[in-house]
Structure 1
Amino acid sequence: MRLILASASPRRRDLLGQIGVVPDAVDPADIDETPRKAELPAAYAARVAAEKAALVAGRHAGALILSGDTVVAAGRRILPKTEAEDEARDCLSLLSGRRHRVFSAITLIDGKGVARHRLSTNMVTFKSLNPTEIDAYIVSREWRGKAGGYAIQGRAAGLIRAIQGSHSAIMGLPLYETRALLKAAGYPLD
């Protein structure tokens, strides 16, 4: 039973390794990840994960396809995967001292083409960040390409007052849900 990870994220590959899973191949899906008009964050994460899996499934008949998408949301607002310093600074300023949600969606398509979906909803609370703390985090460059402008597995961990939910989901792959889907599909675990 071949497992294809439809993600270029080294974090997702490392997280899979934590539960003893090594994908047979990594085949990132190149899709348009632009949110649709009035699309809510949870629905957006689920749609993007499903579209990534469907695209990659077309290239690997009979294989298990695992995809994921993680979205940081402030209210109904989907925060970007930051690529520029000003974006990261804006995200950190917005999240400073407040609670926000992190949605981590996964899709697993089995060898028969049946898709199963899971969504992990998590809460993260940042401490109130002063300008010096934001500047120091910007200099670290950890924010580059990260949803909401931060990586919980790095320096940002020292700026987070509390989390409710799955730490692995906030990093990019909800391991409990992933393991359950893989087991249900007959993937050899344990």
Structure 2
Amino acid sequence: MDLYLASASPRRRELLGQIGVQFERIVCEIDETPQAGEDPHAYVLRLARAKAEAGRAAMLHQGLPVLPVLAADTTVVLDGRILGKPAHAGEARQMLTALSGSTHSVLTALGLAVGNQIDTVLSESQVQFAALTEAQIATYVASGEPMDKAGAYGIQGRGGLFVARLEGSFTGVVGLPLHETATLLGRHGLGLLA
């Protein structure tokens, strides 16, 4: 086993496995509330660090073998405003309506706790949505897919139908940018780029 993954996301687990990294998931919870006036870039980097720290603390508390802990956080940013996971269907509809016909950023930060250090990296992508009808939004929200995803959509699922253009990392928008992940792990002698 190479590391612990401090994430409950099945998408992150699948992507990490895709690049041949052997890992175990470690459970940790943190408060993901943005701080007043917090810059979106600082926000995702803070959460990635906090998740890596919480994962390291859980590893030590549980007496598990000491290994690096990888964590990630993804957020959608529209006009400087952070769009997290919708709390309910109405909020999902509001987010999708705001994203319709516009371009937004998707930020994914990675944190890797190795020893007492936390190394971070940030992936930023630009996503242009097609103009959506109210019926398209209602059908998508009714599918349930938007409910556990930042910005209320999943590019790897039905939400990918709304993406007219992507500049950046597809896997970064999914939640774990593979190139940046491999580079980060490689800096610490892990993974394919070690």
TM-score normalised by L of structure 2? 0.93
Give the structure 1 partner of residue 179 of structure 2: 176
Q: Do structure 1's residue 130 and structure 2's residue 133 form an aligned pair? A: yes
Using the alignment, how far apart are the partners of 2:39 and 2:109 within structure 1?
Answer: 13
Matched residue SS, 1:107: strand
Counterparts of 1:36-115 in structure 2, within 5 Å, are 36-61=35-60, 62-110=66-114, 112-115=115-118
1:96-118 C-alpha deviation (Å, 9 max, x unpaired):
000000000001112x2221100
Q: Name structure 1 gaps, 5 residues minimum.
A: none
Report the number of matched residues.
188
**Aligned in 2, Cα 1:188/1:133: closer, same or farther, shift over 3 Å?**
closer
**1:188 CA displacement:** 4.4
Q: Which amino acid aligns with 1:130?
A: T
Using the alignment, how far apart are the partners of 1:116 and 1:174 within structure 2?
Answer: 15
Identity of aligned residues (%): 42
Give the RMSD, CA atoms, in angstroms: 1.3
Using the alignment, how far apart are the partners of 2:76 and 2:25 within structure 1?
Answer: 24
Q: Name structure 2 gaps, 5 residues minimum.
A: 61-65
Matched residue SS, 1:35: coil
Q: 1:161 aligns with which of 161, 164, 176?
A: 164
Question: Contact between 1:106 and 1:118, CA under 8 Å: does it hold in 2?
Answer: yes
Question: Contact between 1:73 and 1:102, CA under 8 Å: does it hold in 2?
Answer: yes
Question: Contact between 2:103 and 2:127, CA under 8 Å: does it hold in 1?
Answer: yes
Using the alignment, how far apart are the partners of 2:139 and 2:147 within structure 1?
Answer: 14
Using the alignment, how far apart are the partners of 2:18 and 2:86 within structure 1?
Answer: 27
Question: Contact between 1:13 and 1:22, CA under 8 Å: does it hold in 2?
Answer: no
**1:28 CA displacement:** 2.7
Matched residue SS, 1:169: helix
**1:2 CA displacement:** 4.0
1:71-94 C-alpha deviation (Å, 9 max, x unpaired):
001121111201310010000000
Question: Contact between 1:71 and 1:79, CA under 8 Å: does it hold in 2?
Answer: yes
Give the structure 1 partner of residue 63 of structure 2: none
Question: Contact between 1:29 and 1:53, CA under 8 Å: does it hold in 2?
Answer: no
Matched residue SS, 2:70: strand
Give the structure 2 partner of residue 145 of structure 1: 148
Q: Which amino acid aligns with 1:14?
A: E
TM-score normalised by L of structure 1? 0.95
Deviation beyond 4 Å, 4+ runs, structure 1: none
| Deviates further, 26-35 or 65-74 | 26-35
Matched residue SS, 1:120: strand
Give the structure 2 partner of residue 16 of structure 1: 16
Give the structure 2 partner of residue 7 of structure 1: 7
Using the alignment, how far apart are the partners of 2:191 and 2:184 within structure 1?
Answer: 12
**1:122 CA displacement:** 0.6
Structure showing the higher helix proportion among its residues: 2
Using the alignment, how far apart are the partners of 1:80 and 1:70 within structure 2?
Answer: 8
**1:137 CA displacement:** 0.6
